[in-house]
Structure 1
Amino acid sequence: MSARADIAAGAPDWAAVRTDFPVLEREVHGKPLVYLDSANTGQKPRAVIDTVDAFFRRHNANVSRAVHTLGTEATEAYEGARAKLARFVNVRPDDLVLTSGTTMAINLVAYSWALPRLGPGDVVLVTHMEHHANIVPWQLVAQRTGATVRALEVTDSGELDLDAARAALTPEVKLFAFTHVSNVLGTVNPVRALCREAARRGIVTLVDGSQALPHRQVDIAALGCDFYAFTGHKMCGPTGTGALWARREHLEAMPPFFGGGEMIREVAFEQTVFNDPPHKFEAGTPNIAGHIGLGAAVDYLSGLGMDHVEAREAELRAHAVEALDGIDGLRVLGRAPEAAAVISFLVEGAHAHDLATLLDLEGVAVRSGHHCAHPLMKRFGVAATCRMSLAFYNTHAEIERFAAAVHKVRGLLA
């Protein structure tokens, strides 16, 4: 039984919620773990772990291929997870393609939607704050079609300028692909406004929601985008899970990306008749247990209430920014007014990798490197940063331990 509180009773008991996550009970280098790398992957509550375990112990079978009891149970649980995800983001289950994550979802759009449609002179517009997964697929398609990938600049505070975006949405732009929340800066982009401007010009939009869904309520139907991609492992679910939502007209017009079993209606040597979306894009045996686990993660997050999650993380982020601002020689990258609980920073005289390694010896887990965002690092004139990323299961005491560890490590590296 989870320690979560009923939404109707108000905000959850966050201390009790924390006990739902077994990994947070462990020690690292003889010190209690302070896990500040949730933007990399989120930790898993017992509800998810137990669901995956129960599937393998009691229900393991392939989906949509057998009429025996286990096959029926597996199929119902798998499709039930799709329905849960659809409700979570306010879309129809039939418009939600289950994928291995955001990377696969974006590649699906690149090869099934963009490749047949782009040609010389066409432009895919991205931004300087994109993850490589929202840059490289478009470059690969551009090389094959003669199209061009163009990037929208970000301001010194780490934001997109709406006037600059409007000016960049020129007639040759066929697709505008951008992140909902930056995985480096935490910047929350004005998705509705950007999609509205693109739609006025007949430009298709794709939104990378990897860092949004775990931390805030997302109503895809209200955003006005054409495609929305997200990853399960960042939202308390297993790795190798995620989904692509697309407008129905796109799903029906797009050819399949992968070919194989399940995505067909009839196969003959003369031709193949494909299944209806979303199954048309789901060839082969899927990550059944993983997506059933993701369904359990959705249940867990829904039980907490995403409004409570967002408020809790905003409170923790404010504390973290205040703590970091009190450390001499420390620079925070980006200062967008609306930001999620992701903070990238540098310490004068310390390499990001050295800083992260020494913080690990204090039991503090942060990520160091370019965070799969080379163009953004170049934009800010740095090779790498340390990134601390919070989730609702973190505590104010952990932020104090983190700040004390940074003080200590800075002294060692000075």
Structure 2
Amino acid sequence: MNDQIRPDPPADTGPAVGYLDFARVGPLSRPAAAAIAEATGLATRLDPADLDLLFARADAARDSAARLLEARPHEIALVPSTSNGLFTVAAALDGAGTVLVPRDEFPANLYPWLRFAARGGPAVRLVEPAGHRHLTPDLLRRHLTPDVTALTVSAVDSLTGHPAPLAALKEVLGPGRLLIVDAIQGLGSVPLETKAADVLVSGGQKWLRSGWGAALLLIRDRCADRLRPGLGGWAGVTDPFAQRHPATPLPGAAAHLATNPDFPAAAALGAAIDDLFDQGGPAAVGARIRATLAELLDRARRAGADVLLDGLDPRERAGIGTFRLPGHDPATVHRTLETAGLITTRRGEWIRLSPHASTSTAAADLLTDALRTLTRPAPHPEPHPKPHPEPHPEPHPEPHPEPHPAPHPAPHSEPHPEEPTCPTS
């Protein structure tokens, strides 16, 4: 194993021209890679001041996240992943009541509620949105029975790219019910109505391009007293070495910490958020992403593709667009795109495109060329001319043989083994 730590990422790192899969995972950005290298260097050396520097990097990441989410720093904790954050919230909810979950939610925002419902937590009720669109305020209103205590939604649908109307949903819920948001498909790609979220969780490995190992957990002060530290461990209390346990929880979201963060991952997350602001912030980056996606979907339409939720205004779609090519096997379409250098995701019959602000126009040209190979008519082979038959020469007359005496008839015998006995042989 090579234990040498490279201080800076190679200058030529970065996604390929045809990388259109940021909704699955975003290749590590240079600022994030540099932050990981720097933090790993500190952890490798670990002089007396280095551990303090690592904690400082995590605190800086939390401060940057607070700026992004329009929150106070103490309302944010760093957890290992989006899934871990959602399980943390599910463990913190009181057992009474019901959590509403859209039926087509990404599984990471379904399993925490199901698992804890089976262990005495709130019941789960699935809500069926209409026509691949996100949950609407009217539909939510029809499902608001007195037992409902929370709604959990993705900020952006992972298949269609349709953003949830977070502010309108929170208005329907009112102050007495929680709006819990899985923001990973929107944070870093488009502006989000984050102020509407009572609780928000998001990793950074997709649109923020910070890699795995650190995620944001936002718990607003306005609802903190309704969430008990179900998974909060020694790192979430004021005195971990108290004589009596459990000790008093830390204020804010830190009460839900199980342990210390992954420091290199936390540093990368903070660097990625800072880089987002250096590029103009969510609004500027989102405008570039939406323009690039609109061009890609237009190229797909020109090739005869069906676009999922094609009636959406570009502002009603985040960084995700999905299409299918009628009459063509989806697996074949996906392989053809990959062969052409286009990295996408296939979900059943749909091909998902998710570019970033750095995606160049060359990706749209690659898409056009790849789809053209599938949709252009196959050339008809030229018919081969029939060969002219060779003229048969006139037969020469055989000379008449001299007459011989008639032979005596031979006795009956079996034919010779090599002699054909059937005229078609």
Do both share a fold (TM > 0.5)?
yes
The reply to whether residue 78 of structure 1 matches residue 58 of structure 2 is yes
- Partner residue, 1:352: 330
Show the counterpart of 2:13: 22
SS of corresponding position for 2:56: helix
- Shift of the 21–304 alpha-carbon distance from structure 1 to 2, 3 Å rule, reads farther
> 1:209-288 to 2 correspondence within 5 Å?
209-218=183-192, 220-221=194-195, 223=196, 225-234=197-206, 235-248=208-221, 250-258=223-231, 260-264=233-237, 265-267=239-241, 270-276=244-250, 277-288=252-263
Would the aligned equivalents of 1:61 and 1:71 in 2 still touch at CA under 8 Å?
no
RMSD: 2.6
Seen in structure 2, the aligned counterparts of structure 1 residues 248 and 323 have a Cα distance that, compared at 3 Å, is same
Distance 1:258 1:343, change over 3 A: same
In the superposition, relative to structure 1, how do residues 151 and 48 fare at CA in structure 2: closer, same or farther (>3 Å)? Answer: same
Amino acid at match of 2:14: V
Structure 2 alignment gaps of length 5 or more:
1-9, 379-425
- Of 87, 94, 100 in structure 1, the residue corresponding to residue 80 of structure 2 is 100
Closer, same or farther: CA 192–219 of 1 in aligned 2, 3 Å: closer
Equivalent residue pairs, number? 362
Deviations 1:188-214 (CA, angstroms, capped at 9, x unpaired): 1211010111016x3221111111111
Pair 1:173-2:148 in alignment:
yes
Alpha-carbon distance in 2 for matches of 1:117, 1:183:
29
Identity of aligned residues (%): 23
Q: Distance in 2 between matches of 1:124 and 1:137?
A: 11
**Residue identity opposite 2:279 in structure 1:** L
Aligned residue number for residue 130 of structure 1: 105
C-alpha displacement of 1:363: 0.9
The answer on whether the counterparts of 1:238 and 1:291 sit within 8 Å (CA) in structure 2 is no
Contact 2:61 2:266 in 1 (8 A): yes
Q: Counterpart in 2 of 1:400?
A: 365
Give the CA deviation at 1:269: 7.0
Choose the corresponding residue for 2:130, options 155, 162, 175.
Answer: 155
Could you tell me which runs of 5 or more consecutive residues in structure 1 were left unpaired when the two chains were aligned. 1-18, 27-32, 370-382
Shift of 1:294: 0.9
Shift of 1:108: 0.8
Give yes or no for contact 1:331–1:345 (8 Å, CA) kept in 2: yes
Q: 1:192-211 alignment to 2 at 5 Å?
A: 192-199=167-174, 202-211=176-185
Structure 2 length-normalised TM: 0.78
The residue identity in structure 1 corresponding to 2:277 is S
Q: String of CA shifts for 1:22-74, please: whole Å, max 9, x gaps.
A: 223x5xxxxxx400000111222212211211121245588xxxx92111111
Which residue of the partner structure matches residue 387 of structure 1? 352
Q: Which residue of 1 aligns with 2:22?
A: 38
Distance 2:289 2:338 in 1: 22
Name the residue aligned to 1:56.
40
The TM-score with structure 1 as length reference comes to 0.80
Higher relative contact order (CA 8 A, sep 6+): 1
Structure with more helix by fraction: 1
Assess, with a 3 A threshold, how the Cα gap between structure 1 residues 95 and 403 changes in structure 2: closer, same or farther. same
Distance (Å, rounded) in 2 between the aligned partners of 1:246 and 1:146:
19
Q: Residue deviations 1:226-266, cap 9 Å, x none? A: 11111111112121221111122544553334354423314
